Amino acid sequence: MSRAETEVQDRTAILAEAFRHALLLASEHEGATAPNPVVGCVLLDAAGAVLTAAAHLGAGLPHAEARAIALARDAGLAERIDTVIVTLEPCNHHGRTGPCSAAILSTPAREVWYGMPDPNPVASGGAATLRAAGLRVRPLAELNHPARAALVAKAERLLAPFATRVQRGRPFVTVKQALDASGSMIPPLGAKTFTGPEALLVAHQLRRRADAILTGSGTVRADRPEFTVRHLPDIAGKSRILTILDRRGRVDAEYLALARARGLQPHIATDLADALRGLAEAGCNEVLVEAGPTLTELVRASGLWDEWVLIEKAPLGQSDQITITRNLPLKDH
Ligand SMILES: NC(=O)c1ccc[n+]([C@@H]2O[C@H](COP(=O)([O-])OP(=O)(O)OC[C@H]3O[C@@H](n4cnc5c(N)ncnc54)[C@H](OP(=O)(O)O)[C@@H]3O)[C@@H](O)[C@H]2O)c1
């Protein structure tokens, strides 16, 4: 291999590693940023050394690129910024914070790599703006590296809740369904669950990242579930909407009051599609369906779901089996 070829290979390896780093940072904030997406950013100097790295921490707070640039300024490193790696195309509009395209143009950066195009028509166009200003701007899909497919898949999945909301007008719908050895969802008399500790942790991780929980009157009446995040720390200050499908008004006021006291925002709904639309309008990027067999089947039949987390009870002494299925990944990316 020639020296030039080796240099190109080294450079793509550096870029792939920077993307891995940026995606990891973004994933640490899953569930914390709605209605915004999770985003991570890494700034490199001309030799490929990491200058700073940052994630978007929440709505109204600076975007990942702006944070990484501010950190570089604070550390006296801003003049060395050469390459920006960011998991989502830099935004191009004045929202609650200034456009990231402008923030990048205020640095000496020459090259920008982004994970996914911005699915939000209001904010997209950052790549074109930066290109028009003379920067080399490339999507992750063009990175010539063996890890590219895995990195693109991760970037797509991290963006999917936000992309689903802005493109489909409903949140990303995750369904959690636990089955016992006989294929039943109903726990034994007197119990609220039948799954083991690992599956329980997964269930609470799903709840943690969700902006809303959707259940049915049957589950509320049978279990009076708390729907709080336990077994791991919750996101500080986060309050989830609790949508209960209940056409016959069988959910009592006391349950709703107790849910409110636990920090949830409970409300009754009578139609699945309407409820999902309302959640998107309220800024929810992801909803977790935790319902009994009736509503779970309704969600499956409606096709209004994106990720199905199936927990199958294992025989005593073995771990439950967890299978995650995606429904029609977004084609437009
Ligand atoms: N294994 C698991 O993963 C899991 C998870 C949660 C719960 N569960 C168990 O599931 C059991 C409860 O089952 P379930 O099927 O009665 O509960 P569910 O699916 O949570 O709730 C069913 C209720 O939803 C209401 N609903 C509202 N809109 C509906 C619509 N468009 N179509 C159909 N129903 C609609 C219906 O009441 P209205 O007709 O009044 O609207 C229906 O009775 C409990 O034993 C609980 O422990 C298991």
Largest CA distance in the chain: 74
For domain 169-326, the question of CATH label 3.30.70.20 is answered with no
Helices (H), ranges, 106-240: 126-132, 148-168, 197-209, 217-223
50: Cβ below 6 Å to ligand 1? Answer: no
Gap between the Cα atoms of 212 and 279, Å rounded: 8
Among the listed residues 229, 127, 166, 202, the one whose alpha carbon sits nearest the alpha carbon of residue 37 = 166
Q: Is 110 in the pocket of ligand 1 (CB under 6 A)?
A: no
Q: Please tell me the predicted confidence (pLDDT) of residue 253.
A: 98
What is the CA(187)–ligand 1 centre distance, in A? Answer: 13
Domain 3-164 matches domain 169-326 at the CATH topology level: no
The low-confidence residues of the chain, meaning pLDDT below 70, are 96-97, 329-333
Q: Are 54 and 38 in contact (CB under 8 A)?
A: no
Distance between CA atoms of 280 and 18, rounded to whole angstroms?
32
How far apart CA 143 and CA 141 sit, in angstroms, is: 6
CATH code of the region 3-164: 3.40.140.10
Instruction: Give kind and range of the element (H or E) at residue 288.
Output: strand 286-289
Tens digits of residue pLDDT in 240-290: 999 999 999 999 999 999 999 999 999 999 999 999 999 999 999 999 999
Residue 36: φ, ψ to 5°: -85, 165
- Cα(223) to ligand 1 centroid in Å equals 11
**Residue 214 φ then ψ, to 5°:** -120, 125
Residue with tokens 């309050």: 239
pLDDT at 139: 98
How much is the mean pLDDT over the chain? 94
What angle separates helix 272-281 from helix 293-302, to the nearest 10 degrees?
80
* pLDDT at res. 333: 41
How far is residue 274's CA from residue 277's CA, in Å, rounded to a whole number?
Answer: 5
**Which residue reads 């309302």 in tokens?**
278
pLDDT at 268 (0 to 100): 98
Is there an atom of ligand 1 within 6 Å of 246 CB?
A: yes
Contact of 82 with 45, CB cutoff 8 Å: yes
How far is ligand 1, taken at its centre, from the CA of residue 238, in Å?
26
CA–centroid distance, residue 85 to ligand 1 (Å): 45
Dig out the tokens for 32 from the structure. 């914390």
The domain segmentation of the chain, as residue ranges, is 3-164, 169-326
pTM of the model: 0.95
The finding on whether 302 has its CB within 6 A of some atom of ligand 1 is no
Q: Which atom of ligand 1 is nearest to the CA of 187?
A: 47
Total residue count of the chain as it appears in this document: 333
pLDDT digits (tens, 9 = 90+) for 87-111: 999 998 777 667 899 999 999 999 9
Out of 5, 7, 30, 65, which one is annotated catalytic?
65
